[in-house]
Amino acid sequence: MSQSARIGSSSVLAVSGGARGITAQCAIQMARRYHCKFILLGRTALAASEPEWARNSTDEADLKGRFIRWQSERGEKTTPVIAQKAVAELLAQREISQTLQAIREAGGEAVYLSVDITDAATLKEGLETAQLQIGRVTGLLHGAGNLADKLIEQKTAQDFDKVYNPKVIGLKNLLACLPPENLEQIILFSSVAGFYGNAGQVDYSLANEILNKTAYLLQHQHPHCRVLSVNWGPWDGGMVTPALKGYFARLNIAVIPLEVGAELLMDELDHPENAPVQLVVGGKLTRPAATIDPDLQTQRISRLLSLDLNPFLLDHVIGGKPVLPAICVINWVANACEQLYPGYSLYISENNRVFKGLVFENNTPARYTLELKEVTKNTQEIIFEATISSIGEKGKQQYHYGARVTLKREMPQAPRVDLRPGLRANGQPGGQFYADGTLFHGLSFMGVKRVLEISPAGVELECYLHALTEEAQGQFPVQNFNPYAVDVQLQGLLIWARHTYGAASLPLKIQHVEQFRPLPFNKIYFASMKLQQQSETGLVADVTAFDAEGNVYNRITGAEVTISKQLNKLFVAAGKLPATSGV
């Protein structure tokens, strides 16, 4: 980052939402530290003087009474709503004037531009005039924003526009008027709601995450410019009302004091070299307590599956035919359950059975029904019995899979495993096991990076799976369970069976999956398989997946496969692997 990315006394910053609230406090602190100049943008019209009825009063209730009496004396009818609006406008004008005065006293200079930043033409004209007055803009701070918090089913198109437009359309218009190639700093005020998500703020979360992604794009396109998207938690001021502050306190969510937040921003701006593009300030927003209908429900969800819609199936071919991985069934069930109960995540999938697996003979879509029967539920946990079935040619119901799934609202803390010193220095390249036909998997499942150890007791794997595109994942997208990475974790059973008996193996059953957090794409993880039972015709094992520090992702117990040399001819070697395979 060049030295010009630093703010100095010659800098001129356009600041949206900058005349009031937390953005104004940050502008004042910047004036104090850098003695720079500002064009403050806001929608409130700044009157030349205060109305007579408001003079010498600062109490809001008194101001409302004065306005009503003033209107009455003029023979005009009024209502409490009209009075509230008039007083709110007056207080907003006072705050703008106080901000301008505070900037001057801090050693800066500022002009105020009353403009709606979603109106591109008016914004362009206003900025051109303001720059003639104070100087060419060298930086942008985009802090404008609105709230319209409601559950998604209660939101209207007007609610969405109110929240989305100032953030996203406003930024688009600002960048059109102030080309990034001419700027030295672009500072975006985003929110932890964009980073973590938050109940009742789907529009606000979406708009702020767009700011985050735009920041990365701008930094890539304009490396000379310092681009920073600050994901703020709730501030002690601005849109956080006293009632909302009390709500956060009940949820043990700390609010950011004005002076602390402003000082933190200054510290970031003082160090542009090797600085992050996105900065998260504040913790995860706790979900509000759920309201659960106590009546147990049964849901039946029908869907068409086809080979064309699920490209990953072409990398899971046995005997020349694409076969749905059994682990994808857990994903299918878990995703459906989580969509029925937002805020809950897969914790346990147990008694996972394969009655008749799905083989895709051709591209003809086939219809399957997922039945989810609630067994028990409360605000912390929901348990389902799940079955997947279809109707055969003669109209008879055919069952394919069964499972029992537990969702939790708050996941238990992940346990740790003891790491074996020196184990990671050993091993064979994972690619050879795909190339020689030990494993039949194509690129979507080629995640065994190294086989660290094969012993009579089990297998130790180092894994890394490149992310699948959304298109490749098809109808089995990663939500809170990554079936592709978990499939890799289970490939140790097939490696052990081929090594020990010279025979291929196929899954029959997974008794119990306990997940503490999803397995990641594009990150090294480890899988430790411990043998429980074994014979020439089958084996049962437990498999634990964990990260480099020993923090567990999941624990699988009772994974069972059938072993037979007759299966060897069904496994087709992957052949030579491309350099990008990760194995």
- pLDDT, tens digit, for every residue of 534-551? 999 999 999 999 999 999
Share of the chain above pLDDT 90, in %: 72
Give the model's pLDDT for residue 580.
Answer: 34
Whether 402 and 427 map to the same domain: the answer is no
Residues 6+ apart with CB under 8 A from 263: 29
- Same domain, residue pair 315 and 228: no
Distance CA 544, CA 531 (A): 12
Q: Is residue 96 part of a domain?
A: no
Residue 441's nearest CA partner among 501, 504, 355, 521 is 504
Buried b / exposed e over 302-337, threshold 16 CB at 10 Å, is eeebebeebbbbebbbbeeebbbbbbbbbbbbbbbb
Which band of pLDDT confidence, cut at 50, 70 and 90, is reported for residue 23? Answer: very high
Structure tokens at 411: 């996941």
Contact between 78 and 53 under an 8 Å Cβ cutoff? The reply is no
Instruction: Say whether both 254 and 392 belong to one domain.
Output: no
**Phi and psi of 279, rounded to 5°?**
-125, 125
pLDDT at 512: 97
Domain co-membership, 357 together with 465:
no
Neighbours of 249 (CB within 10 A): 11
Matching residue, tokens 């086989």: 451
Residue 284 in this model has a pLDDT that exceeds 80: no
Output the average pLDDT for the chain: 90
pLDDT at residue number 26: 95
Q: Among the three residues 250, 281, 312, which one is the final residue of a domain in this structure? A: 281
CA-CA distance, 161 to 173, in Å (whole number)?
A: 15
The answer, yes or no, to whether residue 292 has pLDDT greater than 80, is no
CB atoms within 10 A of CB 398: 14
Q: What is the pLDDT of residue 425?
A: 78
Check residues 362 and 163 and name the one with the higher pLDDT.
163
pLDDT at 437: 87
- Rounded to 10°, the helix 60-73/80-105 angle is 120
Q: What are phi and psi of 504, to 5 degrees?
A: -80, 165
Confidence grade of residue 507 (pLDDT, cut at 50, 70, 90)? confident
The answer on pLDDT for 344 being more than 80 is yes
Convert the pLDDT of each residue in 190-221 to its tens digit.
999 888 888 889 999 999 999 999 999 999 99
* Backbone φ and ψ of 51, nearest 5°: -65, 155
Q: Which of 82-86, 119-123, 479-483 shows the lowest per-residue confidence on average (mean pLDDT)?
A: 82-86
Q: Which of 370, 380, 384, 401 is nearest to 475 (CA)?
A: 370
Cβ atoms of 282 and 234 within 8 Å: the answer is yes
Residue 242 pLDDT:
58
Coil, helix or strand at residue 300: strand
What is the CATH number for 378?
A: 3.10.129.10
Q: What is the pLDDT of residue 581?
A: 38
Same domain, 484 and 547: yes
What share of the chain in percent tops pLDDT 70? 93
Q: Where residue 218 sits, what CATH number does that domain have?
A: 3.40.50.720
Can you tell me whether residue 291 is helix, strand or coil?
coil
The predicted structure's pLDDT at residue 389: 96
Q: Band the pLDDT of 574: cuts 50, 70, 90.
A: very low
In a domain, 337, yes or no: yes
Give the span between the Cα atoms of 204 and 17, in whole angstroms.
16
Q: Answer yes or no: is pLDDT of 248 > 80.
A: no
pLDDT band at 575 (very low <50, low <70, confident <90, very high): very low
Tell me: pLDDT of 249 over 60. no
Domain finish residue from 353, 374, 408: 408
CB 424 within 8 A of CB 462: yes
Identify the CATH number of the domain in which residue 439 sits.
3.10.129.120
Same domain, yes or no, for 27 and 144?
yes
Q: What mean pLDDT comes out for the span 454-482?
A: 95
Question: Could you please report the per-residue DSSP string of 484-538?
Answer: HHHHHHHHHHHHHHHHHHS-EEEEEEEEEEEESSPPPSSS-EEEEEEEEEEETTE
In a domain? residue 65: no
Residue 216, domain member (yes or no): yes
64, part of any domain: no
pLDDT of 256 = 87
Q: Could you tell me if 493 and 398 lie in one domain?
A: no
Same domain, residue pair 22 and 159: yes
pLDDT tens, residue by residue, 315-326: 999 888 999 999
Average pLDDT over residues 444-458: 96
Distance from C-alpha of 163 to C-alpha of 297, rounded to nearest angstrom: 36
Mean pLDDT computed over 43-55 = 90
- Predicted confidence at residue 143, as pLDDT, reads 96
Q: Is the pLDDT of residue 152 over 90?
A: no
378 and 452 share one domain: no
User: Would residue 231 count as lying in a domain?
Assistant: yes
Over the stretch 269-279, which tens digit does the pLDDT of each residue have?
998 777 899 99
281, 306, 321 - which closes a domain: 281
pLDDT band with cut points at 50, 70 and 90 for residue 153: confident
DSSP single-letter state for residue 197: -
Residue 116 domain-assigned (yes or no): yes
357 and 477 together in one domain: no
Q: Which structural domain, as residue segments, surrounds residue 351?
A: 298-408
Number of domains comprising the chain: 3
Same domain, 185 and 274: yes
Position 188 in a domain: yes
**Three-state secondary-structure class, residue 139:** strand
- The pLDDT score that the predictor gives to residue 19 is 87
Tell me how far apart the alpha carbons of residues 108 and 26 are, in angstroms, rounded to a whole number: 12
Instruction: Indicate if 348 and 430 belong to the same structural domain.
Output: no
Q: DSSP assignment of 115-129, as one string? A: --TT-HHHHHHHHHH
Give kind and range of the element (H or E) at residue 235: none
The residue with tokens 């050693």 is 107
